[in-house]
Amino acid sequence: MEHAAAARDVAAFSVRVLRHIASRDGPRAANLAVSPLSLHAALVLLGAGAWGATLDQIVAFLGPAGGPAHAALASHVALHMLSADRSDGAAGGPTVRFANGIWVDLALRLNDAYARVASEHYRAEASPAPFKSRPEEVRLLINQWIERATTGRIKDLLPPGSIHSGTPAVLANAFYFKGTWERKFDASLTQDGAFYLPTGGHVRVPFMSSTRKQRIASRAGYKVLRLPYARGGGGGAHQPSFSMYVYLPDARDGLPGLLQRLSSDPAAAPRLESSATLADEVPVRAFRVPRFAVSCKTRAAAALRELGLALPFDPVRADFGDMVESAPEPVVVSEVYHECFVEVDEEGTEAAAATAVVMTFGAPCPPPPEDFVADHPFMFLIQEDVTGVVVFTGQVTDPSVSR
C-alpha cells in the first residue's frame, strides 16, 4: 500500500494525542474527539515552509516514515481522497469535503516556491488579508470560511483576540464527512440501557442493536468492532472506503489502560486493525452500541509542545524562512486551534473538523458467537481503508452528554 508507512504514523499519532488530552482530566475525562488527519495536514503545510532544525523536528514528530512520505500522504488526501469532486453522497457514498487555506498580511508575501507547493500539492490557496489594519474582520472571514466548508458544524474556531494587528499569517484547513452505514441499524430495535461511567454509577442512554453478523475481533483485553460505511458507485479499487472502528476494553474502567497500551506498544497499535483484519463477519449474541454526539474544541499548542514539538513555537529558534518573504522579524507559531465534531446514530455518521495555525512575529471455522456490548467507556476511530489513514478519533465516556 503506497501510503502505508505514513498512515501508520498518523494512527500512532492519533492515539498519542487522544491519550495526552484525556490524561489531563484523569478518571473524570470527558467525551473527546480530534481529527488526526486535520492536524497532520496543518503540520505538513507548516513543514513545507520550515528550514533546518525546525523542519527536522516537524518531520520527526510526524513519525519514522519520513518527510517525503508524509508530504505524499497529505498531497494524496488533498488531491484525491478528499478532493472537491469526492462529494458522492448522491451516488450512495459518503459526502467528504476538504479545504486548505493560507491568509497572509498585505504587507508580506509568501515565498513563490512555498505558494506553488501549497497550491499544487495541498490545494491550499493563499489570500492577502488586512491583519494589521482590520484583524477582527480577518478573524470573522476565516471563521466564515471554516463554517461554510464544514456545512455549519464548526463555528467560531478562532476566538476573539486570537488574531491581532501583529499576526503575519494563518494556515487553516476544514474537513467534513457524512456517511451512512453499509447496513443501517433498525431504529425500532433501539432501546434505552445502562452505560457505566468511569467515575461510578451509570446513565440511561439509547443503544442501537442488531441481530446480524458483525465484523468483531477479540484481542487481549479488548474487542474491536468494524462498521463500514456505504460506498458510492464506480471508482474502482482506489475509491475511498471508510469504516468506524470501536475499541471496547473488557473492563468497565479499562479505557485509560487501553489508550496507554495502544500508544506505547507498536504491536497493539490501531493501524493493525483494518478492512483486511476485520473482513470476516461473526454471529453475535448481545450486540449494543450507544448513539452519541461528541464535540471538542482545544488549543493544541501546549499538547503539541508537551508531546515533543517545541521548535515551531520558539520565538528564538523557530525558522520558517521558506514561508514568508520580506518579514520584518522571524515568524513563529503562536497557537494551534482545533475543533472536532462527531455524531453517530442508526443511519450513519456526520463529522467535521478544523485546524488553524496562527503565526506571529518573534514572540511567544464458523467462529463462535461474540458479544459486543459497548456499555462502558470506549475509543473510536474513523479510518479510510484504502490508505489506512485515521481521519477522526475520540473516546466516549458518557453518551448522555451531547456537546
pLDDT tens digits for 213-245? 999 999 889 999 999 999 876 555 567 889 999
- The C-alpha R_g of the chain, in whole angstroms, comes to 21
C-alpha to C-alpha distance for 345 and 181, rounded to whole angstroms:
9
- The confidence band for 193, taking pLDDT boundaries of 50, 70 and 90, is very high
Do you know the residue count of the chain?
403
At residue 54 the predicted structure's pLDDT band, cuts being 50, 70 and 90, is very high
Q: How many CA atoms lie within 13 A of 6 on its CB side?
A: 22
Q: Report the alpha-carbon distance of residue 162 to residue 301 in Å, rounded.
A: 13
- Residues 181 and 227: beta-carbon distance below 8 Å: yes
CA distance 91 to 239: 13
Q: What are the strands of the beta sheet with 292-299, ordered from one edge?
A: 124-129, 95-105, 169-180, 348-361, 331-344, 292-299
Q: Name the nearest CA neighbour of 206 among 220, 221, 189.
A: 189
Task: Write the CA distances from 152 to 52, 145, 147, 296, integer angstroms.
Answer: 39, 10, 5, 15
Q: Mind listing the pLDDT tens digit for each residue in 55-87?
A: 999 999 999 999 999 999 999 999 888 765 455
What is the rounded CA–CA span in Å between residue 143 and residue 158?
6
In the predicted structure, residue 295 carries a pLDDT above the cut 60 = yes
What's the start-to-end Cα distance of the chain, in Å?
Answer: 37
DSSP state of 282: B
- Other CB atoms within a 10 A radius of the CB of residue 117 amount to 18
Return left, alpha or beta for 124; rule: phi > 0 is left, psi -120 to 50 is alpha, else beta.
Answer: beta
HEC string for 61-121: HHCCCCHHHHHHHHHHHHHHHCCHHHCCHHHCCCEEEEEEEEEEECCCEECHHHHHHHHHH
Summarised one tens digit per residue, pLDDT across range 4-20 is 899 999 999 999 999 99
Q: Residue 278's pLDDT is what? A: 78
Place of cell 442508526: 346
Residue 123 falls in which region: left (phi positive, over 0), alpha (psi -120 to 50) or beta: left
102-120 pLDDT per residue, tens: 999 999 999 999 999 999 9
CB-hemisphere CA count at 13 Å for 160? 0
Averaged pLDDT of the chain: 90
Q: What pairing do the DSSP bridges indicate for beta strands 124-129 and 95-105?
A: parallel
Residue 140, φ and ψ in degrees, nearest 5: -65, -40
Phi, psi for residue 61 in degrees, rounded to 5:
-65, -40
Q: Strands across the sheet with 389-396, in order? A: 32-34, 389-396, 378-384, 242-249, 222-228, 215-219
Report helix, strand or coil for 216: strand
Between CA 244 and CA 249 the distance in angstroms is 16
320 has pLDDT over 70: yes
Sole residue written with cell 440501557? 193
CB atoms within 10 A of CB 401: 15
Q: How large is the average pLDDT for residues 356-376?
A: 77
Q: Residue 363 has what pLDDT?
A: 46
